[in-house]
Amino acid sequence: MEIYTDILASCRESNAKLVAVSKTKPAEQIKALYDKGQRVFGENKVQELVEKQALLPNDINWHLIGHLQSNKVKYIASFVDLIHAVDSIKLLKEINKQAKKYDRTIDVLLQIKIAEEDSKFGIDPKELNTFLDEIQQLSLDNIRIKGLMGMATFTDDQAQVETEFKLLKRLFDQLKNTDLIDMDAFTEISMGMSGDYKLALETGSTMIRIGSLLFGSRDYPK
Ligand SMILES: *Cc1c(COP(=O)(O)O)cnc(C)c1O
């Protein structure tokens, strides 16, 4: 699997991490990449994540990269390593509550709406500061905001994708100089997938989420 080595090399060059997105793929395929040394895997559905976590080695760091409903947090709170797509106060409160039950602190990324296309998910960049202000007032001690996550528009137009990645990077940099976040914890920009990860690394991504390039195309999208 030479592509894995290539992607790892790109990550190393940019000091970024690789999340291997294994959604819809069987445990054996995950184990094969695990045996090559990969430890961070991402899933986008809670049930699938829970099933695979039970089957696979304990030292895998599992990331939930897809949209998460509040009522499902309880199924992953004992083990999830990072939740990428948090975009509501209600969800943050629930993650905090479930994390407390397990005496854990759960790391999260805030999903920002950077795509031009209409997306249901993500915080509007214009509302980000207000959002963070609100979170601060709640003192949610069992969550840690590790950074921002975004998905670019699904398009061949590289210029547009670049503009959107740059927007996420700029928002991240702006927050670095405020007291709205915990500066020591706030280190990650999760952006870039199979089709645009090189551009993402060039524009400041610290974490790329790669599925189809590593595991082959999926029978059904998402
Ligand atoms: C599926 C998915 C990916 C990976 O997509 P590929 O194009 O297969 O690399 C990345 N991020 C999210 C949120 C996803 O749902």
Q: List, in sequence order, every residue forming a beta bridge with 145; answer none if it has no partner.
A: 108
* Minimal-distance CA residue to ligand 1 atom 12: 65
What percent of the chain shows pLDDT beyond 70? Answer: 98
Confidence of residue 20 (pLDDT cuts 50, 70, 90): very high
With beta carbons less than 8 A apart as the criterion, state whether 79 and 102 touch. Answer: no
What's the average model confidence in pLDDT over 16-34? 98
The secondary structure of 155-181 as a DSSP string is: SS-HHHHHHHHHHHHHHHHHHHTSSSS
Q: What is the pLDDT of residues 168-203, one digit of tens each?
A: 999 999 999 899 999 999 999 999 999 999 999 999
What's the average model confidence in pLDDT over 150-156? 94
* Minimal-distance CA residue to ligand 1 atom 4: 211
Contact residues for 210 (Cβ-Cβ < 8 A; gap 6+): 7, 18, 19, 20, 21, 192, 193, 194, 197
Residue 116, pLDDT score:
85
Instruction: Return the ligand 1 atom nearest residue 65 CA.
Output: 13
Residue 202, pLDDT score:
98
Domains of the chain (ranges plus CATH)? Answer: 2-212 (3.20.20.10)
The tokens describing 147, both together, are: 């950074």
Ligand 1 within 6 A of 83 CB? no
Residue 59, pLDDT score:
98
Give the residue among 127, 123, 114, 140 at the shortest CA–CA distance from 88.
123
Which of 21, 111, 222 should be mutated for ligand 1, with most atoms under 8 A from CB? 21
Confidence of residue 208 (pLDDT cuts 50, 70, 90): very high
Centroid of ligand 1 to alpha carbon of 44 (angstroms): 8
Crossing angle of helices 27-34 and 46-55, rounded to 10°: 60
Q: Give the 3-state secondary structure of residue 95.
A: helix
* Minimal-distance CA residue to ligand 1 atom 5: 211
With beta carbons less than 8 A apart as the criterion, state whether 176 and 132 touch. Answer: no
Ligand 1 within 6 A of 167 CB? no
Ligand 1 within 6 A of 115 CB? no
Ligand 1 within 6 A of 193 CB? yes
Centroid of ligand 1 to alpha carbon of 46 (angstroms): 15
Residue 220, pLDDT score:
62
Ligand 1 within 6 A of 21 CB? yes
Centroid of ligand 1 to alpha carbon of 136 (angstroms): 30
Q: What is the pLDDT of residues 4-13, one digit of tens each?
A: 999 999 999 9
Ligand 1 within 6 A of 121 CB? no
Please name the residue that has the structure tokens 């895997």: 41
Contact residues for 142 (Cβ-Cβ < 8 A; gap 6+): 95, 96, 97, 99, 100, 104, 105, 106
Ligand 1 within 6 A of 150 CB? no
Residue 136, pLDDT score:
94
The tokens describing 51, both together, are: 């099933």
Distance between CA atoms of residues 22 and 29, nearest Å: 8
Q: What is the pLDDT of residues 44-73, one digit of tens each?
A: 999 999 999 999 999 999 999 999 999 999
56, with CB counted inside 10 A (0-12, 13-18, 19+), is middle
